[in-house]
């Protein structure tokens, strides 16, 4: 297995990949789990971002974060295995697909944005938990998060057409 071609070649020849390509129902069932996963992820992230942007100011931001963050983390247990399974069906096609590359890049950007948010401005959340606008930096990051995840979902859907 020399280099990426070797790994992808090995993956494409694997019984798992073969099953994902030959079974009528396996790929769509796996895609349903992928969809259920990102509905949970993007849904919980969007609800948190909309709160930071100023909706429902009576809802304490930290309490909402404590409720939603574990669900968005848990959703990765569905999204990533299902995504990798679908990837394994046509690894060469997906790895060479600009939309797929953009999707993975956007997912990385969303992760970095969330990390900078939680390690940065979110440390001052006690000062803007309820009733007052969040600091401009927090609102900017919430807006960026919404835009990036919308782009990830768009890339995911467009994969079937590219
Ligand atoms: C983490 C956030 C992710 C989101 C929000 C997301 C979103 C999506 C969406 C919206 C679709 C189209 C579903 C459909 O129209 O039926 C999709 C399909 C797909 N995703 Fe993801 N995805 C994510 C992560 C991943 C990861 C980590 C991988 C793999 C490395 C991956 C691989 C795929 C593949 C291979 C498809 C199938 C394309 C097709 O056959 O149409 N996704 N994803």
Give tens-digit pLDDT for 12-47. Answer: 999 999 999 999 999 999 999 999 999 999 999 999
* Pocket residue to mutate for ligand 1, from 96, 147, 151, 156, most atoms within 8 A of Cβ: 156
Report the pLDDT value the prediction gives residue 6, as an integer from 0 to 100: 84
**What are the percentages of helix, strand and coil residues in the chain, rounded to 5?**
85, 0, 15
CA of 130 to the centre of ligand 1 (A): 35
SS3 26: helix
Nearest of 145, 100, 95, 98 to residue 121 by alpha carbon? 145
* Pocket residue to mutate for ligand 1, from 78, 86, 91, most atoms within 8 A of Cβ: 86
User: Which residue puts its alpha carbon closest to atom 42 of ligand 1?
Assistant: 83
SS3 53: coil
Q: For 50-100, what is each residue's pLDDT tens digit?
A: 999 999 999 999 999 999 999 999 999 999 999 999 999 999 999 999 999
CA of 132 to the centre of ligand 1 (A): 37
* Residue 63 in tokens: 């309490």
User: Which residue puts its alpha carbon closest to atom 40 of ligand 1?
Assistant: 160
> Phi, psi at residue 6, to the nearest 5°?
-60, -50
- Around ligand 1, the residues with Cβ closer than 6 Å are 31, 34-35, 38, 41-42, 79-80, 83-84, 86-87, 94, 107, 152-153, 156-157, 159-160
Sign (positive or negative) of CA dihedral 58, 61, 63, 67 = positive
Whether residue 1 has pLDDT greater than 60: no
Alpha helices in the chain (DSSP H): 3-12, 15-22, 26-52, 61-89, 91-95, 98-119, 136-158
Q: How many CA atoms lie within 13 A of 4 on its CB side?
A: 5
Nearest of 132, 131, 148 to residue 140 by alpha carbon? 148
Mean pLDDT of 92-112: 97
Mean pLDDT of 124-139: 97
């Amino acid at each position: 297995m020399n280099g990426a071609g070797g790994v992808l070649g090995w993956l494409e020849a694997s019984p798992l990949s073969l099953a994902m390509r030959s079974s009528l129902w396996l790929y769509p069932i796996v895609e349903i789990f992928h969809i259920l996963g990102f509905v949970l992820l993007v849904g919980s992230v969007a609800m948190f971002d909309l709160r930071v942007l100023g909706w429902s100011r009576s809802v304490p931001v930290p309490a909402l974060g404590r409720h939603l963050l574990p669900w968005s983390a848990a959703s990765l247990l569905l999204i990533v295995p299902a995504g990798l399974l679908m990837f394994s069906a046509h690894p060469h096609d997906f790895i060479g697909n600009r939309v797929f590359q953009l999707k993975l890049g956007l997912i990385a950007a969303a992760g970095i944005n969330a990390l900078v948010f939680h390690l940065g401005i979110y440390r001052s959340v006690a000062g803007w938990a309820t009733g007052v606008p969040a600091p401009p930096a927090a609102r900017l990051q919430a807006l960026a998060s919404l835009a990036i995840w919308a782009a990830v979902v768009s890339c995911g859907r467009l994969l079937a057409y590219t």
